[in-house]
With several copies, the nearest count.
Chain A
Amino acid sequence: MANSEKNIEIVLSKQALDLSACQAFVESPDCGGLVHFVGTVRNHTKGLKVLSLDFEAYEPMAISEMRKIAEQAVEIFSIRKIAIHHRVGLLQIGEIPVIISVSSHHRKAAFEACQYAIDTLKETVPIWKKEILENGEVWVSATP
């Protein structure tokens, strides 16, 4: 599922995410600095071994919330372009659930905008992950 404007690209996909595609979208001949954040599935959590992660999204709202974040990042940090790609479905260790890519005239703004976007995504975008552990399954952060 993809949706793009001139300077914003939002993708929610069941397919593997592609860093090169994000790089290609944000790079621009008038920009000197690109910053990418790439999330990967960790093999442990709170001392427990993680086998895989299952991502579920409320898809239309996840896309609209990711778009809001991208629009806010452009507005607040005056960046040139931003791509936010998120994966859904079952991911193995080392696979990539999220990529956020930003280009900007000034690299400081690119770093700040990229960090703002991942921090905000983790607070507002309706996507949930379930950890598949050796002895069961846990919805991350759901309960104390």
Chain B
Amino acid sequence: MITVKLLCFGITKDIIGTFEKSLDVSVGCSVYAFLTKLKQDFPELERLNSLRIAVNEEYVQDTFVLNHRDEVVLIPPVSGG
């Protein structure tokens, strides 16, 4: 297992119930697999208009593979400006 840091912004902080948490995931876990598991645990995430993932301050694709100590960030629909 590896450990990643999950950060939750905007509405995802309300859904997950915390801003930051540490999560253990399998070695080789993709962003897709990570999100699938997270949506099982927090079905309200399915209601969002979109949900992107950033790892270490960059947007990543579903196929991106997580590494130990990655900072994984939930990006619900942005609304700056």
> A-side interface residues toward B, CB under 8 Å?
39, 55-58, 60-62, 64, 86, 97-98, 118, 121-130, 139-144
Indicate which residue in A58, A123, A144 contacts B9 across the interface (CB closer than 8 Å). Answer: A58
Residues of B within 8 A of A118 (CB): 81
Closest to A137 in B: B14
Label chain A's interface by main secondary structure: mixed
Contact with A along B70-81 (1 / 0, CB 8 A): 000101111111
Residue contact A128 to B78, C-beta cutoff 8 Å:
yes
Q: Which residue of A39, A125, A130, A144 contacts B78 across the interface (Cβ within 8 Å)?
A: A125
Within 8 Å CB of B14, what residues of A?
139
With known contacts A126-B75, A143-B47, A97–B81 Cβ distance under 8 A? yes
User: Is B41 on the interface with A (CB-CB < 8 A)?
Assistant: no
